[in-house]
Chain A
Amino acid sequence: MSKYLDLSLKEIHELLKKGEITPTILVNECFEKIENSNLNAFINTYKDYALLEAKKLEEMNVPDDILFGIPIAIKDNIMVKDMKCTCASRMLDNFVSIYDAGCIDYIKDHHMIIVGKTNMDEFAMGSTSETSYYGAPHNPWNYNKTTGGSSGGSAAVVSIGIVPLALGSDTGGSVRQPSSFCGIVGMKPTYGRISRHGLVAYGSSLDQVGVMSRNVYENAILLNAISHLDKRDLTSFDTDIDFTREIDKPLENFKVAIPSFFISDIIDPEVKEKIMNIKKILEDNKIQVDIVDIKYIDKTAILYQIIAMGEASSNLARFDGIKYGYSYPNPASLDDLYKKTRRYGFGEEVKRRIMVGSYLLSGENAKIYYNKALEIRDDLKKNFLDAFKKYDLIIGPTAARCAYDLGMNQNDPLKGFMDDILVMHANMGGFPSLSMPIGLNRENLPIGLQIIGNLYKEDTIYQLASFIEKKVKFDSKKVRNGI
């Protein structure tokens, strides 16, 4: 089996340019790896399509675009025309998309080759990918551990080296937490950076498409490719900057903050130790690192849940058995159609969140819970903006602990919520945030560093991330070579 996909994108591109390899070779290697892996990371793969696309590309001159011909995996809640888009739900088990998401337009424009749709928590609701109708994916670092979620499949396939790049979605850490658990780089950009057109909505005011890769540079390259203003998403914007522009520039007068909550007792000691190690590396390189208090930072996870579930209860109302997707056969009435379609079409966690969300928006509750959550969200955002007046970036762990055993969170809906507590602030405030691997724990499971930037400051995040990447020299190949 060839191992071209283990090379960097720059190296692959050189080989493609020289004609030493072809996109078909890359696609074949990718599918060999898929067929040899048992991670349950894909829901559907598209080998015939991928080979056909590869063949088309071979008739073209290789352009100066290092994404050309690169296989990519897409989370199964992002629409790709003529491919199924299941959201890991029985509700959409047979749903074939008739349109491309905004970000997919650009994936195709760059001649990347979509090889499959990845496993995830049902409708992105979960942090272990176990709520998937198709069963949970497995963590490449340890088969019995969770990949995290909800973009668990995307994290797993990048981690194991099936594809160099993948797209996920991040409503409350769903790109960053599995990236942390699987030892890869995952970025949730500023809210509105990537069009949400074609991303199946969970919590509309929190959702963002995210990019997942093996290293920082390639992450920035993929973000460059798919960030655009899209009139089909009124919250999207365009700033036209090159996210790689600050990479390798000296970190002069850089100031970094670590919120005290991010290194408090809720954090696993091994994780905390690695974070403190990063602090030391930075300080050794004359970067000021302060431990700061940010008001509300420890209290907003529950508010995040109120907003996400409230919005989800409304967003998922469209799955009613009338227009598409699963439809309960021969219902007795319209109400019966609604009830049975949703009873049998949705899994338990989705139904739980819809029920709680509906309750939170009911009557006076909307004022007590949802509107109140929106108010405090504004305050939280303001507190972060204040911090960014003094500091370039905020860092901390991505997750309080490393990947844990599959099945651990089942039947305890509250446990999974612990996975949100360090990552959802970025969604609440719309801030860009990246997770990158900084080492392994004693069980050889990856530990992730989270870097949160001010609005639109992805380039600054990449600058620090790239610097740290060079210092910690995390060996991502370890997982592929057998630990």
Chain B
Amino acid sequence: MEYRKTIGIEVHCELKTKEKIFSPSLSNYGSIANTNANIIDMAYPGVLPQFNSEVLSFAIKACHVLNLNITKKMHFDRKNYFYADNPKNFQITQNETPIGTNGYVEIDINGKKKKIEILEMHIEEDTCKSVHSDKYSLLDYNRAGVPLIEIVTKPCMESALEAVKYLEKLRELLLYAGVSDCKIEEGSMRCDTNVSISKTNELGTKIEVKNIGSISNVGEAINYEAKRQEEILEKGEKLREETRRFDDKTRTTILMRVKETGNDYRYFPEPDIPYVNLTDDFIHDAINELSRMPDERRKDYEKSGILPINIEKIIANKEISDYLENFLDINLVIASNLLLGDIQSYLNKNNLKIEDTKLTHQKFRDLVNKLDKKEINNKIFKDILIDIMETSKDIDDIICDKGLNVSFDDNLLNSIIDNVLSNNEKIISDYKNGNTRSAKALMGLIMKEGKGKIDPSAANEKLMEKLNSL
């Protein structure tokens, strides 16, 4: 009989509120060390926590997208432990009344849906970031007090694939809820995984793997860890509860510490923060601010005929997807192709965001509609892209200024073609004698005459029609 894996995951996500949770210091990532730190963050004697209610609104949004029940009357607790990165030597967290309970995230495993059950989600403050060297450690208080949510699943996953799918989905939901950047590499999303194996219905010894640097590494760590545990059990040895970390270089897990009998955090209710009563209005207001979640967007994209591979590309790039939310009434295939293709490369090349350019919503709408109605073609679009992005002129003016205004006036097209045909009888007879290249020569002459004012594909169509009827 084979060993079954049981996996539970704890995820910490930094909420991207403007200010920290218990102090008015800024909460942004990447500032010079210790510049976003005040007397509260540094746990000066005599300071008390203040409260940033934006955190509640963000946490409510997270609860909503993770299908969690929201705890309306809640409080904060102190978790007491000494460590250098913990300025007060207690962390303000929620032990007794987590803001969210009993939720789930639905994942898709080879076409089969599975609900990953979430036990609870609570709010807490982040610690200092510490950098260790041989002789000393450095502390960055910028991170101390950044709001976190911790999301804890039940031990309900059975494979590395499920774990990876869960994390991808969780990341996507929190990203689209607009509550966190969820960047594992910057530490704004951190995954701790509990893995145990067993041949019976009873759960095996739980081993925690911390500090895993990417979602795919979570999968790798789980498989490695399950195999390691199996080898130990097969040798007839016993496992002990321990905390390990995933080592990027060796692709193995390494022992950090053996767990002793239950950590004693001496929890008690934080006396400096009154109980929080979330009103229905406050909850509704927060939820109403949510934009549409990815699965809903996917449905629209599918309906509009965007290729599945492109749908996932759009969803993976929230900026593009958010941008498209303004244009659901126009041709989404063209719109998404532009955004994923030429516009994206322009932005990447110039290291810009779409809102840094002169591409207004109206201009983008015009552009897509003109392409859709074939008023311009892809070649013209490429010619005018830079002008679209860098000038305030509208599309018509750009085309006109560049002399690219294509006419769809049949009379003009007819007269140009007729004129070319009547002056080039030699080439026409070559064509009639089977020289297909002659048609191209005629096209060249027509386009020259039309000076970019005519649509090549329409001209070609018309020319062939006329040639064949001669």
Interface residues of A (CB under 8 A from B): 77-79, 85, 87, 92, 95, 97-99, 101, 196-201, 204-205, 231-235, 310-311, 313-314, 317-320, 322-325, 334, 338, 358, 361-363, 366, 370-371, 374
CB distance from B12 to the nearest CB of A (A): 22
Selected contact of B82 from candidates A77, A87, A204, A317, CB within 8 Å: A317
Kindly report which residue of chain B lies nearest to residue A203, judged by CB atoms: B271
Asked, given contacts A361-B266, A366-B267, whether A204 binds B272 with beta carbons under 8 Å apart, the answer is yes
Q: Which residues of A sit under 8 angstroms from B83, Cβ to Cβ?
A: 334
B5-51 at interface with A (beta carbon < 8 Å): 39, 42-51
CB distance from A246 to the nearest CB of B (A): 29
B268 in the interface (beta carbon within 8 A): yes
Cβ of B80 and Cβ of A234 under 8 Å apart?
no
Asked, given contacts A317-B90, A318-B88, whether A92 binds B45 with beta carbons under 8 Å apart, the answer is yes
Cβ of B80 and Cβ of A199 under 8 Å apart?
no
Asked, given contacts A205-B271, A234-B274, whether A338 binds B46 with beta carbons under 8 Å apart, the answer is no
B143 in the interface (beta carbon within 8 A): no
B236 in the interface (beta carbon within 8 A): no
Kindly report which residue of chain A lies nearest to residue B39, judged by CB atoms: A99
Complexed CA–CA distance, A327 and B84 (Å):
13
Complexed CA–CA distance, A377 and B418 (Å):
102
Complexed CA–CA distance, A235 and B75 (Å):
14
**Residue-wise interface mask of B (89-118) relative to A, using a CB-CB cutoff of 8 A (1 in contact, 0 not):** 110000000000000000000000000000
Kindly report which residue of chain B lies nearest to residue A85, judged by CB atoms: B45
Cβ of A98 and Cβ of B272 under 8 Å apart?
no
Complexed CA–CA distance, A428 and B266 (Å):
22
Q: Which residues of B sit under 8 angstroms from A363, Cβ to Cβ?
A: 262, 264
Cβ of B50 and Cβ of A232 under 8 Å apart?
yes
How many residues of chain B have a CB within 8 Å of chain A?
31
Q: Which residues of A sit under 8 angstroms from B49, Cβ to Cβ?
A: 234
Kindly report which residue of chain A lies nearest to residue B85, judged by CB atoms: A322
Cβ of A95 and Cβ of B266 under 8 Å apart?
no
Cβ of B44 and Cβ of A234 under 8 Å apart?
no
CB distance from B55 to the nearest CB of A (A): 14
Selected contact of B50 from candidates A201, A234, A319, A320, CB within 8 Å: A234
Q: Which residues of A sit under 8 angstroms from B87, Cβ to Cβ?
A: 318, 323
Complexed CA–CA distance, A148 and B137 (Å):
44
Kindly report which residue of chain A lies nearest to residue B274, judged by CB atoms: A234
Which one of B45, B78, B268, B273 has the greatest number of beta carbons of chain A within 10 Å? B45
Selected contact of B266 from candidates A79, A196, A320, A366, CB within 8 Å: A366
Asked, given contacts A361-B80, A366-B268, whether A235 binds B45 with beta carbons under 8 Å apart, the answer is no
B241-287 at interface with A (beta carbon < 8 Å): 262, 264, 266-269, 271-274
Cβ of B42 and Cβ of A317 under 8 Å apart?
no
Complexed CA–CA distance, A347 and B274 (Å):
32
Which one of B78, B262, B264, B266 has the greatest number of beta carbons of chain A within 10 Å? B266
**Residue-wise interface mask of B (60-98) relative to A, using a CB-CB cutoff of 8 A (1 in contact, 0 not):** 000000000000000000101011100111100000000
Given A85-B46, A358-B266, A361-B268; 12 other pairs, CB 8 A cutoff:
A79-B46, A99-B39, A196-B48, A232-B47, A234-B48, A234-B274, A311-B271, A314-B90, A317-B90, A319-B45, A322-B84, A324-B44
Q: Which residues of A sit under 8 angstroms from B48, Cβ to Cβ?
A: 196-197, 201, 204, 232-234
Q: Which 4 A-B pairs have the closest CB atoms?
A: A317-B89, A361-B266, A205-B271, A204-B271
Kindly report which residue of chain B lies nearest to residue A233, judged by CB atoms: B48
